[in-house]
Chains A and B, each alone.
Chain A
Amino acid sequence: MSRAGSGERRSAIEVLGVSKVFGNGDDAVRALDNVDVTIRENEFFTLLGPSGCGKTTLLRLIAGFDFPTEGEIRLYGEDIAPLPPFKRPVNTVFQNYALFPHMTVAQNIGFGLEMLGKPRPEIAQRVTEMLKLVRMEELRNRRTSQISGGQQQRVALARALAPRPKVLLLDEPLSALDFKLRKDMQIELKRLQHETGITFIFVTHDQEEALTMSDRIAVMSKGRILQIGSPRDIYDRPAERFVANFIGDTNFLEGTVTAVNGSKARIALAAGGEVEAGISEGVKPQGNVTIVVRPEHAAIVMAPGQDALRGTLENIVYFGTDTHFHVKLASGPHFIIRQQNRHGAREELKVGMPVGVEIGEHAAQVLKD
Chain B
Amino acid sequence: MPVAASSSLSRAALVAAEADRREIRGRWLLASPALLIILFAAIGPLFIVLLFSFLTPADYGGIVWKPSGHAWFQVLFQKDIFDDTTTFADAHLSILWRSVKLSLLTTIMALAFGFPTAYFIATRPEKMRDIWLFLITIPFWTNLLIRTFAVQEVIRNEGIINTVLIKLGLISSPIQIMFTDVAIMLGMLYVYLPLMVLPLYASMEKLDFRLVEAGYDLYANRFQVLRRVIVPLVKPGIIAGSILVFIPSLGAYVTPRVLGGGKNMMLGNLIELQFGQGRNWPLGAALSITLMAIVMVALMVYVRYAAGSSENRHG
Interface positions of A (Cβ within 8 A of B): 63-65, 84-87, 90-92, 94, 96, 98-104, 107, 111-112, 115-116, 143, 159-160, 163
Using A65-B213, A107-B313 as known contacts, say yes or no to A98 and B208 having CB atoms under 8 A apart: yes
Using A86-B221, A115-B224 as known contacts, say yes or no to A100 and B210 having CB atoms under 8 A apart: no
Please, how many angstroms separate the alpha-carbon atoms of A261 and B216 in the complex?
A: 54
8 contacts between A and B (CB under 8 A): A64-B216, A86-B218, A86-B219, A92-B213, A94-B214, A102-B232, A112-B219, A159-B218
Please, how many angstroms separate the alpha-carbon atoms of A90 and B219 in the complex?
A: 9
Please, how many angstroms separate the alpha-carbon atoms of A92 and B218 in the complex?
A: 8
Question: Which residues 194-235 of B sit at the A interface, judged by CB distance below 8 A?
Answer: 208, 210-211, 213-221, 224, 228-229, 232-233
Which residue of A is nearest B220, CB measured?
A115
Return chain B residues, CB-CB under 8 Å to A87: 219
Q: What is the number of contacts between chain A and chain B, taking CB atoms within 8 Å?
A: 69
Return chain B residues, CB-CB under 8 Å to A84: 216, 221
Which residue of A is nearest B224, CB measured?
A115
Return chain A residues, CB-CB under 8 Å to B210: 94, 96, 98
Counting from the closest, the 7 A-B pairs by CB-CB distance are A112-B218, A98-B214, A115-B219, A85-B216, A98-B210, A115-B220, A102-B232
Please, how many angstroms separate the alpha-carbon atoms of A103 and B218 in the complex?
A: 14
Using A103-B313, A103-B314, A104-B314 as known contacts, say yes or no to A98 and B211 having CB atoms under 8 A apart: yes
Please, how many angstroms separate the alpha-carbon atoms of A208 and B302 in the complex?
A: 55
Docked-complex contact B218 and A163, CB < 8 angstroms: yes
- A86-B219, A91-B218, A115-B224 given; name 17 further pairs at CB < 8 Å: A65-B213, A65-B216, A84-B221, A85-B217, A86-B220, A92-B217, A100-B211, A101-B233, A102-B233, A103-B314, A104-B314, A107-B313, A111-B215, A111-B220, A115-B218, A116-B219, A159-B218
Please, how many angstroms separate the alpha-carbon atoms of A159 and B217 in the complex?
A: 11
Docked-complex contact B218 and A111, CB < 8 angstroms: yes
Main secondary structure of the interface of B (DSSP, over half): helix
B173 interface residue, CB < 8 Å from A?
no
Return chain B residues, CB-CB under 8 Å to A92: 213-214, 217
Please, how many angstroms separate the alpha-carbon atoms of A91 and B217 in the complex?
A: 6
Using A98-B208, A102-B313, A107-B314 as known contacts, say yes or no to A86 and B229 having CB atoms under 8 A apart: no
Taking the closest CB of chain A, its distance from the CB of B308, in whole angstroms, is 14
B180 interface residue, CB < 8 Å from A?
no
Please, how many angstroms separate the alpha-carbon atoms of A246 and B215 in the complex?
A: 35
Q: Which residue from B219, B310, B313, B314 sits with its C-beta under 8 Å from A163?
A: B219
Docked-complex contact A102 and B310, CB < 8 angstroms: yes
Return chain B residues, CB-CB under 8 Å to A101: 211, 233
Taking the closest CB of chain B, its distance from the CB of A289, in whole angstroms, is 46
Taking the closest CB of chain B, its distance from the CB of A178, in whole angstroms, is 22
Taking the closest CB of chain B, its distance from the CB of A119, in whole angstroms, is 15
Please, how many angstroms separate the alpha-carbon atoms of A87 and B224 in the complex?
A: 13
Please, how many angstroms separate the alpha-carbon atoms of A64 and B219 in the complex?
A: 11
Please, how many angstroms separate the alpha-carbon atoms of A107 and B215 in the complex?
A: 13
Which residue of B is nearest A96, CB measured?
B210
Please, how many angstroms separate the alpha-carbon atoms of A112 and B215 in the complex?
A: 8
Please, how many angstroms separate the alpha-carbon atoms of A84 and B213 in the complex?
A: 11
Return chain A residues, CB-CB under 8 Å to B224: 115
Please, how many angstroms separate the alpha-carbon atoms of A98 and B207 in the complex?
A: 11
Docked-complex contact B213 and A98, CB < 8 angstroms: yes
Return chain A residues, CB-CB under 8 Å to B213: 65, 85, 92, 94, 98
Return chain B residues, CB-CB under 8 Å to A90: 217
Return chain B residues, CB-CB under 8 Å to A98: 208, 210-211, 213-214
Which residue of A is nearest B221, CB measured?
A86
Which residue of A is nearest B211, CB measured?
A98
Please, how many angstroms separate the alpha-carbon atoms of A102 and B236 in the complex?
A: 12
Which residue of B is nearest A109, CB measured?
B218
Using A107-B313, A107-B314 as known contacts, say yes or no to A100 and B214 having CB atoms under 8 A apart: yes
Please, how many angstroms separate the alpha-carbon atoms of A65 and B228 in the complex?
A: 19
Return chain B residues, CB-CB under 8 Å to A85: 213, 216-217
Return chain A residues, CB-CB under 8 Å to B217: 63-65, 85-86, 90-92, 160
Return chain A residues, CB-CB under 8 Å to B314: 102-104, 107, 143
Using A102-B232, A103-B314 as known contacts, say yes or no to A86 and B214 having CB atoms under 8 A apart: no
Return chain A residues, CB-CB under 8 Å to B215: 100, 111
Q: Which residue from B216, B229, B310 sits with its C-beta under 8 Å from A100?
A: B229
Taking the closest CB of chain A, its distance from the CB of B176, in whole angstroms, is 46
Q: Write the B276-298 contact mask toward A (1 if CB under 8 angstroms, else 0).
A: 00000000000000000000000
Which residue of A is nearest B219, CB measured?
A115
Return chain B residues, CB-CB under 8 Å to A116: 219
Q: Write the B228-252 contact mask toward A (1 if CB under 8 angstroms, else 0).
A: 1100110000000000000000000
**Residue among B208, B214, B232 facing the most chain A CB atoms (10 A cut-off):** B214
Return chain B residues, CB-CB under 8 Å to A64: 216-217
Taking the closest CB of chain B, its distance from the CB of A198, in whole angstroms, is 15
Using A102-B232, A143-B314 as known contacts, say yes or no to A86 and B216 having CB atoms under 8 A apart: yes
Please, how many angstroms separate the alpha-carbon atoms of A149 and B66 in the complex?
A: 69
Which residue of B is nearest A116, CB measured?
B219
Taking the closest CB of chain A, its distance from the CB of B223, in whole angstroms, is 11
Return chain B residues, CB-CB under 8 Å to A163: 218-219
Taking the closest CB of chain A, its distance from the CB of B24, in whole angstroms, is 33
Please, how many angstroms separate the alpha-carbon atoms of A111 and B211 in the complex?
A: 12
Return chain A residues, CB-CB under 8 Å to B220: 86, 111, 115
Please, how many angstroms separate the alpha-carbon atoms of A86 and B219 in the complex?
A: 4
Taking the closest CB of chain A, its distance from the CB of B229, in whole angstroms, is 6
Q: Write the B301-315 contact mask toward A (1 if CB under 8 angstroms, else 0).
A: 000000000100110
